[in-house]
């Protein structure tokens, strides 16, 4: 395979990738602090993969403390061309039962205590998030999930909440009224940062529970979620293998590869050198022009 290096962000219950050949854990330093863990590099079916457990091995990091800037920067430094996020999610729809895989295509960001951009004073950029995922990678991921044996829904709106607490019943009902299909705690600002890093991003939500909008049922219980996570994790690992088998031999260019060309607004002579230095991986291509 030529040109593909797929970054895998593994969510709850997915802390390693057994199918990787020539696998090795490496430490990557970033100007944004340490990523969640070392990166696991290897190949599947000749395709290069870089795996990063979002919560760290052993699930040490709560959602609000995941250093998403460091994670995305580290994947970029490791040479990733695209990112597939695998995330445990709650369902806000009756038809999206536990065990189903949903390939999200929209997000609503309700997080409030996280750094959500690589850019800031001294170097300003505004990327478009109208279509927040890569349709090409999303389709490939959906096909791979089906090949791995999952029941797949293509398209869905993911509500990103701050956490770490689960929703109130009133919140869960409100999110349903907004048209949301899934709820989770990690997709934002992850998807925004991937876009700023010019990395096509797709998210497969692995449904573990029905949140708490079903009035006749008990609220979300971590024990029940963990049981469903184990079943989902095996399918997720098979999904990655099927994705490797199905990728086109040559990676075609994506518009996301160059989206900073129309996003950076600060004039070259006005850019803060310290900010430019911090963006040596994320903005390397655009800032060298």
Per-residue pLDDT of the chain (289 residues; tens, 9 = 90+): 579 999 999 987 788 888 999 999 999 999 999 999 999 999 999 999 999 999 999 999 999 999 999 999 999 999 999 999 999 999 999 999 999 999 999 999 999 999 999 999 999 999 999 999 999 999 999 999 999 999 999 999 999 999 999 999 999 999 999 999 999 999 999 999 999 999 999 999 999 999 999 987 777 777 777 788 888 889 999 999 999 999 999 999 999 999 999 999 999 999 999 999 999 999 999 998 7
Tokens 């009035």 correspond to 215
Q: What is the structure's pLDDT at 39?
A: 98
Tokens 């509500």 correspond to 159
Q: What is the structure's pLDDT at 1?
A: 52
Q: Is 224 a catalytic residue?
A: no
Please classify residue 201 by burial: count the beta carbons closer than 10 Å to its beta carbon, then call 0-12 exposed, 13-18 middle and 19+ buried: buried
β-strand pairing of 101-104 with 152-154: parallel
Query: Of the listed 105, 211, 261, 272, which one is catalytic?
Result: 211
For domain 5-287, the CATH architecture is: 3-Layer(aba) Sandwich (3.40)
**Is the CA virtual torsion 203, 230, 72, 189 positive or negative?**
positive
Query: Of the listed 209, 221, 224, 261, which one is catalytic?
Result: 209
Q: Where are the domains of the chain?
A: 5-287
Query: What one-character-per-residue DSSP string does 14-34 give?
Result: ----TT-EEEEEE----TT--
Q: What is the structure's pLDDT at 16?
A: 80
Q: What is the structure's pLDDT at 222?
A: 75
Would the pTM of this model clear 0.85, i.e. be above it?
yes
């Amino acid at each position: 395979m030529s040109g593909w290096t797929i970054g895998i962000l593994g969510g709850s219950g997915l802390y390693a990738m057994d199918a990787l050949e020539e696998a090795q854990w490496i430490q990557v330093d970033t100007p944004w602090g340490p990523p969640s863990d070392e990166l696991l590099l290897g190949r599947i079916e000749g395709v290069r993969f870089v795996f990063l457990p979002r919560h760290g091995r052993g699930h040490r990091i709560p959602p609000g403390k995941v250093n998403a800037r460091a994670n995305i920067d580290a994947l970029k430094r490791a040479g990733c061309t695209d990112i597939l996020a695998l995330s445990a999610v709650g369902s806000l729809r009756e038809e999206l039962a536990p065990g189903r895989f949903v390939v999200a295509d929209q997000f609503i960001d309700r997080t409030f205590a996280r750094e959500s951009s690589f850019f800031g004073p001294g170097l300003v950029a505004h990327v478009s998030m109208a279509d927040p995922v890569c349709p090409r990678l999303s389709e490939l991921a959906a096909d791979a999930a089906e090949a791995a044996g999952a029941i797949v829904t293509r398209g869905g709106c993911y509500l990103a909440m701050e956490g770490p607490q689960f929703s109130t019943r009133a919140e869960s009902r409100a999110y349903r009224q907004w048209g949301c299909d899934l709820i989770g705690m990690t997709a934002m600002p992850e998807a925004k940062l991937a876009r700023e890093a010019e990395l096509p991003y797709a998210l497969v939500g692995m449904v573990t529970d029905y949140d708490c909008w079903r009035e006749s049922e008990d609220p979300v219980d971590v024990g029940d979620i963990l049981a469903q996570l184990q079943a989902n994790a095996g399918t997720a690992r098979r999904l990655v293998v099927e994705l490797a088998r199905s990728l086109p031999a040559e990676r075609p260019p994506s518009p996301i590869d160059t989206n900073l060309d129309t996003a950076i607004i600060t004039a070259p002579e006005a850019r803060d050198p310290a900010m430019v230095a911090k963006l040596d991986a994320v903005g390397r291509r655009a800032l060298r022009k």
